[in-house]
Structure formats: structure tokens, C-alpha cells
Amino acid sequence: MTVKDIEVRPLTSALGAELLGVDLSKPLSNKEFDSIHRAFLDHQVIFFRDQQLTPEQHLAFARKFGELDIHPFAAGLEGHPEILPIVKEADDHTSANFGGSWHSDVTFYEKPALGSILYALDVPKTGGDTLWANMYLAYETLSDGLKQTLDGLKAVHNASRAYGLNSRTTQRHQEGADISMQVRASEEAEEEVTHPVIRTHPETGRKLLFVNANFTRRFVGWSEKESEPLLSFLWEHCTQPAFTCRFRWQKGSIAFWDNRCTQHLALNDYHGQRREAHRVTVCGDKPY
């Protein structure tokens, strides 16, 4: 469909759409912003091609959606701490990459992110795609019995798997990954927050599944051992191919995803090639 010269091309039946006819380096009219916002809510992750943004323009677009986050464990761009450079150098052959497992961003916050805007500056000739999964579909396709079991349950989230002292970050430092990014391991990553397992999206009113393998540790009132079988089932259920879309990056591409109702995965299949993208994260609200 075409709305005020912005063409919205759905990527899959599950989620994702490319928006054509938009130059994000220029100020947006109210109608243009409304069209982008509507596509964002309808498709959960939206993509723009052939963009040329300065850091200031990247930040200005993101601020239209809310306040901006500064990542607690990864260094921001010099002079622009809200911009997180996500880099893998060509000579970085570590076994893990930043964002290389299915997750929703910063659910270890009391108020997890609304969304993130990732801008590609340098991309490999092959590989380095990103996948997203639809958490509305993940919830809606559960059996009625399991929905009843999960309704009212809360889960504990923290960042210990990703940034704790015995985490992947520590492993990456041991393997030499600090050649690519300044990411630190910290005891602060052990701090816990709780969120409902079934979340209601604050703008659409739709229910969705809100657990992820990176940051969800256990159900409240359950041990980790007791929680593991059900959580493992849910993580596998969430990311089945029918719920996903896959995006092939080009230099100047932008992805803007709704962190409240998606998960994503950055593929680590481009060893020997450089990849750099800049991420700005919009602050969100407390899940309910």
C-alpha cells in the first residue's frame, strides 16, 4: 500500500516490512511520522534502505519515539554515548558475537527498551543477516491449557549469562574479542528484576510471550532446575521459522524493531569479514 508516498512492503506473513520513499536524514512531517509509527506497530520491525545519517540525525530520529538509553556494559560512541557501535573486525574469529543468540534487548531492566534502531555502516559481502521473531504469534499459538498456566506467572531476568563474571563476555575476552568492542563483565549483571511471562503491549493491547534465553533465568517461586524444561520449550517455540523474518543488510540499511513484541538474532557466519552497525535504543516502560 502507499501512504503519503511511503510504500510499505511486507517482508513475510509473520512480521517485518520495508519502507520505501523515506529519507531519515531530513525532518519528518507529522503525517510521515504517523505513517512510520503505524508501520512499526503493524509489522513489529521495519527496514529502510540507502540511508545516509550523521550520528546527530540518527539520534534525532530515535528521539521522536522517546528517551534514549546508554548501555551499562558496552561502550558507546565517543561523544555520543547513546550510540552503541556493534563491531566485529575481520580478524576477530571468536566463537560468539554481540547479539548472537535469540533475545529481546535489556529485559534485565525494570523498564526494558521500547525498541532499537540499527544503522549499517560496513557489511560483509556474504553473511551477517539478522532474524526477528514475532512474540504475538508465539503467545497466540500456545494451547489454551498452557496459556492458563502461564497467565499470572512472573519470571526473573538478569544479565548474568551475557555480562556476568562467568559469562560469554568473559569467554570472548579470553578469546581476544576485545579487538572488536569494549564490553565489560560485571557483578552488576547479577542484579535481578521480574516481569510477567505474558505481557500486554502498551500500544496495541495485544498479549505476547515475554521470556528470552539471554536474560530470563527462572519463574518466580520456582528453582532454575524446575524452570528449565518449560523455559526451554518456550524458547524453542518462540523462534520457530514460521514466526520469523530474515533481513539481508546493505550499507546504509536501517532496522527499527519493537523490542516489546519481538526477539532477534544476529548471525555469526561471516568470519574474516568486517561488520559495523550503530545501535540507538529507545527507553520503554514497565511490562504489565
The residue type at 63: R
DSSP state of 189: G
CA pair distance 249, 141, nearest whole angstrom: 30
8 A C-beta contact, residue 238 and residue 133: yes
> Which member of 157, 195, 199, 279 is catalytic?
279
Residue from 58, 80, 92, 105 carrying the catalytic annotation: 105
Residue 43 a catalytic site member: no
Strand-pairing partners, residue 256, are 46, 117
C-beta of residue 242 within 8 angstroms of C-beta of residue 82: no
279 noted as active-site residue: yes
Find, among 286, 244, 282, the residue nearest to 130 by Cα.
244
Q: Side-chain half-sphere of 155: how many Cα atoms within 13 Å?
A: 29
- The amino acid sitting at 8 is V
By the 8 A CB rule, do 86 and 98 touch?
A: yes
**Coil/strand/helix, residue 273:** coil
Torsion of CA 279, 52, 130, 203, to 10 degrees: 60
Known catalytic residue: 157? Answer: no
Catalytic-role residue among 161, 168, 264, 275: 264
Distance CA 46, CA 276 (A): 19
- 105 is annotated as an active-site residue: yes
CA-wise closest residue to 80 among 255, 279, 276, 282:
279
- Report the SS3 class of residue 79: coil
In sequence order, the 6+-apart residues with CB closer than 8 A to the CB of 187 are 164, 165
Q: Which three cell numbers stand for residue 81?
A: 554515548
103, 157, 201, 278: the active-site residue:
103
Strand partners, 219: 155
Catalytic annotation, residues: 103, 105, 264, 279
